[in-house]
Structures are given as C-alpha cells and as structure tokens.
Amino acid sequence: MAAPQRKARLTMPAPVAADLLRWYDQHGRNLPWRVKFGRQDPYLAWLAEIMLQQTTVITVIPYYEKFIARWPNVTTLAQADIEDVLAAWAGLGYYRRAHNLHRCARIVAHDFNGRFPATEAELKELPGIGDYTAAAIAAIAFGRRANVVDGNVERVMARLHAVEKPLPQSKRLLRELAEETLPQLRCGDYAQALMDLGATVCTPKRPRCSVCPWHKSCLAVNQGDAEHYPLATQKTQKPKRYTTAFWLENGQNQVWLRRRPATGLLAGMMEVPTTEWQENAGQTDAMPSGLPRRVAWHTLPKVLRHSFTHFDLYVRLMYAIGHNRSENGDWYDKDSLKTLALPSLMRKIAAAIALWRDG
C-alpha cells in the first residue's frame, strides 16, 4: 500500500501563526527593505523582491542600496535609461529581471499614476512579477492575506507535516498546508517571518530545531529526522553547452567588447565576443565576425564553467593583442569594466584572462 502523503497529527498540536510571529518579533532579521510591525512602501518591497528572485540576501543588499539611492521611487526609475539600469544591475545575474524591472516601472509610472496595484491578480499582470512575487508584495506592502510560498516555505511545511510525497509533485499539497496556517492580521510580518524561519532556522542541513517556535508541532522532529524532509525525486543533470570567447587587447589598456542582441539571454548586455553557444563540444572554433584573423591567438589552458538556470556553459578562452576597426563592437578601457553592463559570465572571463596574463 502506498504511504500516506501527510502523516496524522494525533495528539500533536497544529502550528499556529502567533507562535511564529512572537519569534519573529524577537529574532527576525533586520534587512534594509524591511519594516517590522507595519507595511513597506510598495516600490521598495517590489524592488527587493525582484532582486531576491534566485539571489541571496547578502548579494542583494548593496545592489538594493545602490538602486534606492539613485532611483528613490518608481517615477525616477521609469525615467532612467535602460543602459544605466543594466549597468547598475551588472553582476546580479538573470538580466531579464533588469529589463522587466524597467518596463514595470514605466507601466506603473504611466498607467497607474505611480502607484502599484494592491491585489495579487493585478500585480501578476505586470512584467517580471510571478505568483510568488505578487503574493509577497501583496502581503508585505498591502497587508493582504496572501500565501507566499517559495522553496524555503515548502521545506518548512514538508517537515512540519512530515510530507512523504516528494517534490516537485508535492508542491500543491505544501501550498495547501501553508494556507492552513495563514493569520488574519499581520500578514506581511507573517510572510517575512516564514521566510526568516526557512533561511535561518529550518535550514536544508542541520536545522536548529531546539530554537524553532514550531518545535512542538513538528512531525519531522517528533520522528527524530528533520533532514529526511522534503523528499525529492532524482534530479536530472543539466544539459551542457560549449563556446569559445575571444579576448582582444590593443596594448593601450583597452579590450574589444560588443553588445548582445536586444532579446534573448543576457539581452542588451556587453560581452566578450564568443562563438555560438552549441551543444556539440567539437564545433566552437569558428571565429565571430568582426574580429581580426591575422593576429596570434593564444588558447588558454583553462576552460571556464558557468551555470545558467537551464544549462551549464563551458567556455574555452582565446587571447590576442591586435588592432580592430570593425563596426561590430568597440574598444573599452579595462579600468572601466566595473561600470559597464557586464554579466557575471563576462566578469569571470575577464578575471580568468587577468590571472593567466599576470600570473
């Protein structure tokens, strides 16, 4: 007989929101975008939530502070050039977010008179705002009773209720379980409390169950093995892609860069010219157009690996000193690379080249 998806609670009490909120009032993290016991400005809540998509809190903090110092409200961000937004975003990854951020700011500034809509349904109509982000903004900025469920919350729910069904098939069940505990009041604080619990106490490895406010309600702990949950079906390996990057210098402290197309992966960002990114490792030699062929290209011994969401990219590196007058790119001072809209992959390439050349 198949195991039940959710274990019976018997005499153990169900988790209640008040216990988590009491814990949050004492132990919740102080973050630059956070307002405890109140509602956050919708612009700030939105900005933080977009930046936090697939990115850690520590990484986001300096970017968030830089953005609000430069663009303190949605109107100023809407008036900014996309080039400036991309340059300020450089290094944060997932650059589609920066394009959507800018588009969303323009829509809110022009179509909503500078005010974000308050409901999840309306928020989800805006670029870059999916289910999770809409729920988070609705709860944190508007006090709505929204069910804010991400991987951290799924893990907490799987453990609290000892859910035997593996992820991702259990997603719906975990969402229903999260819904059962939602409070009527302090919905924004509750959402952030749950985020903090997952990030600082109910961690993937070695959860700190002895300080958990839901310790007495947790079925996983009761059966002595919190880390057993959440169960997951075997992951499949990411596909691989291959390319060659061509780093051309002119001997005057400048490097040749070009801009990527306006659509697709890393849209509109600057890049070191590369060959097409291919699935076949053996076909990465064809030099991109606009690069000089009659210079001595050196192949570096190191091959870089860079992980994107849906594939791993392996990058062979070529280096040369020479001149170039092509229209497909331009020379940039190497000292200015920090201020350019260079994605993390390109920064990795620049660092590997510098290490090889100066090492």
| Residues annotated catalytic, as ranges | 49
Residue pair 163/4 in contact by the 8 Å Cβ criterion: no
Nearer to ligand SF4, 98 or 226 (CB): 226
Give 114 or 183: the residue with its C-beta nearer to ligand SF4. 183
- Smallest distance, Å, CB 232 to ligand SF4? 16
Nearer to ligand SF4, 64 or 214 (CB): 214
Q: How far is the CB of 208 from ligand SF4 (least distance, A)?
A: 6
Q: Which residues bind ligand SF4 (CB under 6 A)?
A: 156, 159-160, 201-202, 207, 209, 212, 214-215, 218, 220-221, 226
Cα 119 to Cα 116: distance, rounded to the nearest angstrom? 9
What's the CA angle centered on 177, arms 172 and 180, to 5 degrees? Answer: 130
In the complex, minimum distance from the CB of residue 177 to ligand SF4, in angstroms, rounded to a whole number = 12
Closest CB to ligand SF4 among 91 and 166? Answer: 166
CA 68 to chain CA mean position, Å: 18
From residue 223, alpha-carbon distances to 164, 229, 312 in Å are 13, 11, 39
**248: Cβ–Cβ under 8 A, 6 or more apart, which residues?**
255, 256, 273, 291, 292, 295, 320, 321, 322, 324
CB of 17 to ligand SF4, least distance (A): 14
**In terms of CB distance, is 173 or 304 closer to ligand SF4?**
173
Q: How far apart are CA 303 and CA 3, in angstroms?
A: 46
For residues 175 and 178, give the distance between their C-alpha atoms in angstroms, rounded to a whole number.
Answer: 5
Give the pair of three-digit tokens for residue 67.
Answer: 């953005």
Smallest distance from ligand SF4 to CB 43, Å = 33
Q: How far is CA 38 from CA 14, 28, 136, 186, 193, in A?
A: 27, 14, 14, 8, 13
CA 345 to chain centre: 15
